[in-house]
Amino acid sequence: MSAGYWLTTSGDDLTPRPPLDGDGRADVVVVGGGFTGLWTAWYLLERDPTLQVVVVEARTVGFGASGRNGAWLSPNIAVTPDELARRTSPEAAAATIRAVRGAVDEIVDVCTRIGLDAQIRRGGVLRIARGGHEQPALQQGHDVLRRLGVDDGVEVLDADELAARIRVADARGALFDRHGAVVHPGRLVRGLARHLEARGARIVEGTRVTDVRPGPPAVTVVTDRGELTADAVVLATEAWLPQLPRRARDVMPVYSLIVLTEPIDDDRWAQIGWQGHECLSSHRYTVDYLSRTIDGRILFGGRGAPYHFGSAVAPAYDHHEPTHAELRRQLVAWFPALQGVAIAAEWGGPLGMPRDWLPSFRFDVATGIGAAYGYTGQGVATSNLAGRVLADLVVTGQTEFADLPMVGHRPRRWEPEPLRWLAARYLQGALARIDARGARTGRPPTGRSLAERLVKH
């Protein structure tokens, strides 16, 4: 992938930082220069400014999901609140929701404090029921939050109330959650890196990690430019984690693709509305997500690109014409006024999906290795929470978030190939068929199909 839209419009100098220049030593090495790695380094230095922290990035800061996403600061994780309550407890599910909402607040507070203009707009999230078959899921989502006692700032909008905010074709209502926000991810990731360097962290780019050897006495990070030893190492590579030895089945790299329009003219905006800059999605199993840029473009993203055998990740997979064509079609289906609008950019990238859809934040004192991964597309805000947890565990061994189900979590590993490929392709096809059937018949999903039951586990 080239620098991409978010990085090229970040306002930052994209000249590569120097790579590692031979063997060295640090207190903590962070592998990965995206949001998880940078937030971890940020809070490590906040807790102990004397630490020598080195961030090692294979390409450039923000190259991965942090520079390719849909611009959401989502107040949620991939596991639904009712499913999380079923797996753990209502109390744990509620605490998780509050913690992720708090991560949105924390990012806003940090940016304000350090003067980082990440173009954050706190318009909330609208989960829209497009068609009558999506209305039960809308109401169920609100009912669950109310039962958990975390429905503050969340309300159901009927079709007229929604139309007063935004006009979407065949919209029957929406669940509005004020806790979300939209961000310019390139400005956030690149700006965070610059401020981190000013605090004393070292960031090396163009340095590929090929192995991480556990301690004791020290952890060794093997790269193509030399070796680093450290007291602790944090793996923050998300969908690229399977490229490390012994990590092939930790997450499944699933591609999410995006189309972005040219700036929309005033007449079209008058037909659409959307002055609140809310994040938008529907209730489709196959996932769609929309955001509005500060200069008046519309971003439309979604799943559908095929999983690649062996958890392969490659630049060639960043574009998949059948999926990008479907996204262009869906964009006009949502907003008929956009018929004929020019597309400025199309891109994609992998996200890390764990076997149980639940992220993991953990640090093993015995080996000196920590990791955070498995956001399944909900990582822009959650990575901030992960960074705070990892910094706590590395520096003190304790964290105020210890009771959250993600902390210390070790998900079941994905099946070996070819079972992994077969399962992924089956789920992608089956969920797409369920969405298509609902749109065609007007009947909501039953929740009883094999595919629907599998995505809950």
Q: Rounded CA gap, 198 and 202, in Å?
A: 9
Q: Which helix (H) or strand (E) holds 347?
A: strand 343-353
Residue 182: name the closest of 263, 128, 108 by CA: 108
CA 404, distance to chain mean position in Å, is: 18
- For the stretch 222-244, pLDDT in tens is 999 999 999 999 999 999 999 99
Instruction: Give 115's contacts (C-beta < 8 A, 6+ positions apart).
Output: none
Give the whole-number percent of the chain exceeding pLDDT 70.
98
State residue 218's pLDDT score. 96
Residue-range domains of the chain with CATH: 125-178+252-353+417-454 (3.30.9.10)
Computed over every residue of the chain, the mean pLDDT equals 95
Could you tell me the CA-to-CA distances from 53 to 18, 104, 238, 364, 438 in Å, in that order? 16, 25, 20, 18, 51
Give the whole-number percent of the chain exceeding pLDDT 90.
90
Contact call for residues 278 and 166 (beta carbons, < 8 A): yes
Predicted confidence (pLDDT) at residue 2 exceeds the cutoff of 60? no
State residue 250's pLDDT score. 97
Predicted confidence (pLDDT) at residue 293 exceeds the cutoff of 90? yes
The structure's pTM equals: 0.96
Q: Rounded CA gap, 130 and 62, in Å?
A: 33
Cis peptide before 217 (omega within 30 of 0): yes
Q: Where are the beta strands (DSSP E) in 208-337?
A: 209-213, 219-223, 226-235, 252-261, 279-281, 288-292, 298-302
82 phi and psi, to 5 degrees?
A: -70, -35
State residue 1's pLDDT score. 40
Residue 384: name the closest of 31, 105, 153, 72 by CA: 105
Q: What single-letter amino acid sits at 75?
A: P
Instruction: Give 440's contacts (C-beta < 8 A, 6+ positions apart).
Output: none
State residue 286's pLDDT score. 84
> H helices of 124-199, where?
135-148, 159-163, 185-198
Helix, strand, or coil (residue 219)? strand
Instruction: Give 178's contacts (C-beta < 8 A, 6+ positions apart).
Output: 122, 124, 153, 154
Residue length of the chain: 457
Model confidence at 457, in pLDDT bands (50, 70, 90)? Answer: low
Residue 238: name the closest of 402, 356, 118, 360 by CA: 360
Model confidence at 443, in pLDDT bands (50, 70, 90)? Answer: confident
Q: What is the mean pLDDT of residues 321-331?
A: 97
